[in-house]
Amino acid sequence: VQLQASGGGLVQAGDSLRLSCTASGLIFSDYVMAWFRQAPGKEREFVGTISWNSVATYYADFVEGRFTLSRDNAKNTVYLQMNNLKSEDTAVYYCAAGFLTGARLSAAYDNDRVYNYWGQGTQVTVSS
């Protein structure tokens, strides 16, 4: 299984970026897809999760409506649209795939230990 994240870069505060994560080696539509991030010197933190059918999405509180998750199961790809970026969004962003359904999803979506596969990360740097 491989998860290939892309789309990171250096932007200014207030700008937008769209991250992509393309999966191979798994039945993409069976998996919940998530994004986490890790800033220098900090723990990895949850950003957002989207269910296999896009019906359910969950976001961290700090997103504050600025980020939107979507997925295209035909392309095995999940997207994270990030708008109004702030300097504190600077981090390496990781995508992850988890086999989570129903109650387990709603209970554990922000727990990185429940995700089975991880991408290599893409750097997002926001200058103020």
The model's pLDDT over 76-126, given as tens digits with 9 standing for 90+, comes to 999 999 999 999 999 999 999 999 887 888 889 999 999 999 999 999 999
d(CA 25, CA 84): 34
| pLDDT above 80 (res 58) | yes
Mean pLDDT in the chain? 96
CA-nearest of 47, 53, 30 to 109 is: 47
* Residue range 12-24: mean pLDDT, rounded: 98
pLDDT of residue 102: 77
| Residue with the larger pLDDT of the pair 19 and 101 | 19
